[in-house]
């Protein structure tokens, strides 16, 4: 998968069975979060992708630097505190850490 700043997903998986479902669900989540900031529960309800799958995709996208946790507050759907997520770089939180070099 590509980790460029253009935030494009480059799928290099075999498009059969589970891999095709993985590709479709990941792309659906990625595209939804480009235009929306939402918790995993809210994404699951809006896209129809199971929440357990969203947690796995979230981890994968975070490792690639394509998904960001914007803020932690009460979820509009569940009422519990949860991180609001986005794949839109414009909404990426600013780092509080100062530059070392």
pLDDT in tens, the chain (101 residues): 444 444 556 544 444 556 777 788 999 999 999 999 999 999 999 999 999 999 999 999 999 999 999 999 999 999 999 999 999 988 876 665 555 55
pLDDT of residue 19: 76
In a domain, 98, yes or no: no
Residue 19 phi, psi dihedral angles, 5° rounding: -65, -35
H helices of the chain, in order, are 18-35, 40-47, 51-63
The number of residues in the chain equals 101
Contacts of 8 (CB under 8 A, 6+ apart): 2
In a domain, 17, yes or no: no
In a domain, 74, yes or no: yes
In a domain, 29, yes or no: no
């Amino acid at each position: 998968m590509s980790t460029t700043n253009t935030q494009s997903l480059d799928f290099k998986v075999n498009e059969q069975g589970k891999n095709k479902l993985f590709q479709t669900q990941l792309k659906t989540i990625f595209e939804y979060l480009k235009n929306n900031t939402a918790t995993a529960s809210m994404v699951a309800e809006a896209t129809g992708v199971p929440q357990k799958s969203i947690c796995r995709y979230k981890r994968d996208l975070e490792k690639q630097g394509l998904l960001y946790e914007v803020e932690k507050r009460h979820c509009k759907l569940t009422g519990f505190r949860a991180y609001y997520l986005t794949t839109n770089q414009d909404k990426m939180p600013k780092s509080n850490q100062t530059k070392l070099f």
